[in-house]
Amino acid sequence: MKNVRLFYKKGGRMRFISHLDITRFMARIIKRAKLPVWFTEGFNPHPYITFALPLSLGHISEYDIMDIRLCDDDYDIEKLPETLNAICPDGIRFFKAAEPKLKTAFVAFAQFEIEFDDKGELLKPLSDFLKSESIEVSKKTKKGDIKTFDVKPKIKDFSLNENGNTVLKITLPAGSEENINPELILTAFFGSGVTNYSCYTVTRKSILDKDLNLFE
């Protein structure tokens, strides 16, 4: 038995496909590729697949991770990206296959890049907003209540640039322990009455461990 970590990018028309649908899609791809995958041994056997960090619907990802388990210890995993890409739509591109270095439980942060379709107009107001003492955001809890909290201390790092449009780079807690979706902050920003401009694209650039090293 051999654990394999597959790294891939998700974009194009695939960004409209939810995490739940992606899990089913990946199971199908693995089946079509006829990989010697290990099946779970429950009442309803299915190929063992886990994802390091689910991606929100609509977000693009340049760094997504999926783990599978192969029965054949001698299987040459180098060729896996090529094999899988051949049967995947353009929106999913595998770029690496390797043995996992850390368990998925050690995912701690994610880095996002958000590009606004604003011709730079938001640069100043967004900068002021992110520099304020506290940033109140509201989140729906699993119980369905609305929880309000200050997200400011949780922002690990951010920077703003302009390339014709405003570009925000931001690092936020991610993983099973604490997860902050950048949309929370954007909603708070646009909700704060600064502007009602809401055309932006969120790209997840990387997944990091607790020391801000690339999660591999």
Phi, psi angle pair for 83, to nearest 5° = -60, -45
Q: Do residues 196 and 52 make contact, with C-beta atoms less than 8 angstroms apart?
A: no
Report the residue count for the chain: 216
- Choice from 16, 106, 138, 161 touching another protein (CB under 8 A): 16
Which value, in Å, is the radius of gyration of the alpha carbons in the chain?
Answer: 19
Token pair for 118: 């604003």
Could you give the 3-state DSSP secondary structure of residue 186? Answer: helix
Give the integer Cα–Cα distance in Å for 198 and 67.
Answer: 35
Subset of residues 40 to 69 that bind another protein, contact rule: CB under 8 A: 45-46, 57-58
- Choice from 6, 14, 35, 186 touching another protein (CB under 8 A): 14
**Comparison of 60 and 65: residue with beta carbon closer to another protein:** 60
Q: Cβ neighbours of residue 87 under 8 Å, at least 6 residues apart?
A: 29, 32, 33
Say whether residue 39 binds another protein (CB under 8 A): yes
Could you give the 3-state DSSP secondary structure of residue 138? Answer: strand
- Choice from 2, 3, 25, 155 touching another protein (CB under 8 A): 25
Give the integer Cα–Cα distance in Å for 83 and 22.
Answer: 18
Subset of residues 93 to 152 that bind another protein, contact rule: CB under 8 A: 117
**Contact pattern for another protein over residues 70 through 99, marking x by CB under 8 A:** -----------------xxxxx--------
The DSSP string of 126-160 is HHHHHHSS--EEEEE-TTS-EEEEE-GGG--EEEE
Stretch that binds another protein, among 39-47, 70-78, 105-113, 173-181 (CB under 8 A): 39-47
Say whether residue 36 binds another protein (CB under 8 A): no
- Choice from 19, 24, 79, 101 touching another protein (CB under 8 A): 24
| Token pair 């390091």: residue | 52
Closest approach of another protein to the CB of residue 211, in Å? 34
**Comparison of 31 and 101: residue with beta carbon closer to another protein:** 31
Say whether residue 199 binds another protein (CB under 8 A): yes
Sites of contact with another protein (CB under 8 A): 12-18, 20-22, 24-25, 27-32, 39, 45-46, 57-58, 87-91, 117, 199, 201
